[in-house]
Amino acid sequence: MRRIKFLFAFCCAFAVYAAGAVEITGVIPVNVTADTAAAAKARAFNSAQRDVIATELRPYANVEQLNAAIKQSSDDELSDIISSSAVTGERASDTTYTANISFVIDGDAAKSWMEKYSVENSLPSSNAAAVVAPENSVIAVATLYNPIYDWAALNAAARAVDVDIATKNIIGSRVSFVVPDVDASKLTRALRENGWRVSNSAGGIVISR
């Protein structure tokens, strides 16, 4: 039977979809005191959304750049990344608000926000097309922050170890290409030796600077 492989780098939360926005969820416990219960609740939500964005986007992004972007962003701007929220275990006094707040982060909005603040990230866009690898090969997905220079460097590293790569598609800063099974580990070593970050998951290779 012909073996078909789809790339789902699930362990690092990387997913490729034919349609539909990527959603990321997280729960933040809060216990905030302010002059009034209303002020405590508002402060709790603002603080919690910063915490959930920092925590849940961490696997996708350069952490230092992500934290800097969060500090630079207003509460309203960060709220635009959150598609929904829910509260459980809510308790309030005259000055204190306690709860567990769950958030859903809109992947497309988060990606746009990170790109606005030049945060290096591997978060996929919902308009990314599914990629199919032929038999005896895997799909590699590379995020190129300097597309011309990085793509040339990646090809040079592959040629140096006699690995032939064939481009499948290009979506924004992301390029996917096919690598023969027998060459996957050789390419991974070569790229790491040349300063690339490479992870292997679910039959695919995820590459970034």
Calculate what percentage of the chain has a pLDDT beyond 90.
48
The pTM (predicted TM-score) of the whole model is: 0.55
Q: What pLDDT, on a 0 to 100 scale, did the predictor assign at position 181?
A: 87
Assess whether pLDDT exceeds 60 at residue 127.
no
**Read out DSSP for 25-91?**
EEEEEEEEE-SSHHHHHHHHHHHHHHHHHHHHSGGGB-HHHHHHHHHHS-HHHHHTTEEEEEEEEEE
Calculate what percentage of the chain has a pLDDT beyond 70.
80
Measured CA to CA, the distance from residue 70 to residue 90 in angstroms comes to 26
Instruction: Report domain extents, the chain.
Output: 5-17+130-208, 23-116
Assess whether pLDDT exceeds 70 at residue 100.
yes
Please give the class, per CATH, of domain 5-17+130-208.
alpha beta
Q: What pLDDT, on a 0 to 100 scale, did the predictor assign at position 35?
A: 95
**φ, ψ for residue 203 (rounded to 5)?**
80, 5
pLDDT digits (tens, 9 = 90+) for 30-77: 999 999 999 999 999 999 999 999 999 988 889 999 999 999 999 999
